[in-house]
Chains A and B, each alone.
Chain A
Amino acid sequence: MDRMEIFINTVKIVVIFLMMIQVVPLLVWVERRGSAFIQHRFGPNRVGPLGLLQLLADAVKFINKEEFVPAASNRVLFYLAPILALLPGMLAVLAIPFSTPFGIPSFEFMGSSYGPYTLQVQGAEIPLGIIYIFGVSSLAAYPVLLAGWASSNKYSLMGGLRASAQTISYELGLGMSVVGVMMLYGTFHLNDMIAAQEGLLAFRFFGNEINLPFLPNWGIFFQPIGFILFFVCIFAESNRLPFDLPEAEAELVAGFHTEYSGFKMLMFYIGEYGHMIVGSALVVIFYFGGYHIPYVSEAGLTSFVSQYFTGEYLVPFLVSFIYLHVFILKLALFLWIFVWVRWSLPRFRYDQLMSLGWKTLLPWSIFNMILTTVFIYAANAA
């Protein structure tokens, strides 16, 4: 661990954080244009091509808004809550592997030489990545709760209490639905999970090898129930529409961020979109093969790239570059599904939400766990 490595890691963490922040205005644009598309409207289309510069106009507006703090509020917590809202998403994104690692050749810089490195396209290669991500994102209940309480507004408080109860309840279903995935791949390591999904569908059944070469070897074919449960739970975790009870504007004005305006409001948005990004990335990693291209193995891609380019370091870099874009493409697809669902489905009632979480998702995820155990036993039984 020399100085250069520390420097590279620091830069990487900052870059990933900035990436997460920069995706948010784009997502806001997609959300507005997408909702307009779904509702047969035009949406923002005046500023710049396709309304893309609307993002800049929005940013200027957010910064110039009046700084408003309710008189009866608790000032410290009122300012602390939006800052905390950034944390869970930011910390969780660090553990997500975006692509394959590639090497950096040794080089001379400022008179001293630095050895060859292997650069992970990932904030930090954290052991037990899943557990880390769940642990960090379970902290997401605090900012909402604090924001609701510190505003000293009844609607805010109710929104905050609803949000935290919802987050705690759905975390159970979320955790239990992933147990099947962990048992299937036999690891907690996100990179190992992606590596296990390379190639074509093949599994063992009572000791016989069964190959289905017309399908990729993705988790969704092994865990269909788990996928549905997980996908429903991440909607609830990120407080998005069918489950956006904390900010149900028909009943609670705007829920926990009623009293927030300008940039503080934007920070809550960034937190929410951070949750969406992490959730979509986890869906891609668990169930849709991570950065792998269906029907193309890593060796195949490497040989394809080396037909046109040569170089010990260039080829892995290009492979990693292609994989990064595949991952981002899959991620974008799921982020679009988030937007699509938001503008298509009506909101649940609060008691319906709770009974869905506790009486439907949790028992089904336990059932999925037992089913997976039986299948794993059947696969390895002679």
Chain B
Amino acid sequence: MTEAISFYLIQFIILASALAVVLVPNPIYSAISLAVSMTGIAALFFSLEAYFIAGVQLVVYAGAVMVLFVMVVMLFDLKKEKRAFSRGTLSRVLKTTLSVLIFSMIAGALSMSFSELGSGDSIAKEDITRSIKELSALLYTKYVFAFEALAILLVMVIVGAIALAKAKGGTHAK
């Protein structure tokens, strides 16, 4: 029962702040509510006993990526935003309907396929340190190629981001 209460509480926080991200016109509030949403997702991982992932989620997303977002939004200083949302009643209705439709399709498919399975499956409790050991073993054996590729990607991104941020405008420089 406590598990259910904590799940619904966390779920409420995540969904409410996610909705705030897309519905609030001021981008600074969007960024802050996204940070709240990330923290909520970290809490959800914590309740799923994925402690390591939860910590990484906090450090990487809530602690680094979102701080970057907030910093950039603050630097732009967009206080009065013109046309925050797309124009036209038809396009708005269409887009909203599309999103709701996709959600109901996924939810319907899930509820059909999970009618028996669902809650019967209980989470197997494991020794946490051991699971981290297995995780790293997996990372360095089965997924070692992807891991190396990720390293190359990150180096490329560092170079690219610095080049972009330092660029004086390329061939179209004023």
Chain B CB within 8 A of A175 CB:
yes
Summarize B's interface: helix, strand, loop or mixed.
helix
Chain A CB within 8 A of B54 CB: yes
Residues of chain A touching chain B, judged by Cβ–Cβ distance below 8 Å, are: 1, 74, 77, 126-128, 131-132, 134-136, 138-139, 141-142, 145-146, 148-149, 157, 160-161, 164-165, 167-168, 171, 175, 186-189
Residue of chain B at shortest CB distance from A164: B67
Once the chains are docked, how many angstroms separate the CA of A56 from the CA of B59? 38
Could you pull out 21 A-B pairs where Cβ atoms are within 8 angstroms? A77-B28, A126-B51, A127-B128, A131-B54, A135-B54, A135-B55, A135-B58, A135-B59, A139-B63, A142-B32, A142-B35, A145-B67, A145-B74, A146-B70, A148-B74, A161-B71, A165-B71, A168-B67, A171-B63, A171-B64, A189-B129
Q: Is B21 an interface residue (CB 8 A)?
A: no
User: Complex Cα distance A188/B39, Å?
Assistant: 21
Q: Which residues of A contact B41 (CB under 8 A)?
A: none
Chain A at the B interface: SS class: helix
Residue B42 is within 8 A (CB to CB) of chain A in the complex: yes
In the complex, are the beta carbons of A145 and B63 less than 8 A apart?
no
**With contacts A138-B58, A171-B59, A188-B132 known, is A145 near B52, CB below 8 A?**
no
B55 touches A132 (CB 8 A): yes
B10 in contact (CB, < 8 A): no
CB distance from A358 to the nearest CB of B (A): 11
A77 CA to B28 CA in the complex, in Å? 10
Q: For this complex, into which size category does the number of interface residues on chain B fall?
A: 20 to 34
Taking the nearest CB of chain A, how far is it from the CB of B48, in angstroms? Answer: 13
User: Do A149 and B28 touch across chains, with their CB atoms under 8 A apart?
Assistant: yes
Q: State whether the Cβ of B14 lies closer than 8 Å to any Cβ in chain A.
A: no
Known: A188-B129, A189-B129. A142 touches B55 (CB 8 A): no
Q: What is the bound-complex CA distance between A114 and B32, given in angstroms?
A: 44
CA distance A144 to B39 in the complex (A): 18
Q: Is the CB of B28 within 8 A of A168?
A: no
For residue B62, CB closer than 8 A to chain A, the reply is yes
Q: Is B2 an interface residue, CB under 8 A from the partner?
A: yes
Nearest-CB distance from A193 to chain B (Å)?
12
Kindly list chain A residues whose C-beta atoms are within 8 Å of the C-beta of B70. Answer: 142, 145-146, 164
Do A187 and B63 touch (CB < 8 A)? no
- A149/B74 in contact, CB under 8 A: yes
Q: How long is the Cα–Cα vector from A157 to B70 in the complex, in angstroms?
A: 12
List of A residues within 8 angstroms of B32 by Cβ: 77, 142, 146
Return the 8 tightest CB-CB contacts between A and B, nearest first. A138-B63, A135-B58, A131-B55, A128-B51, A135-B55, A149-B74, A141-B67, A127-B128
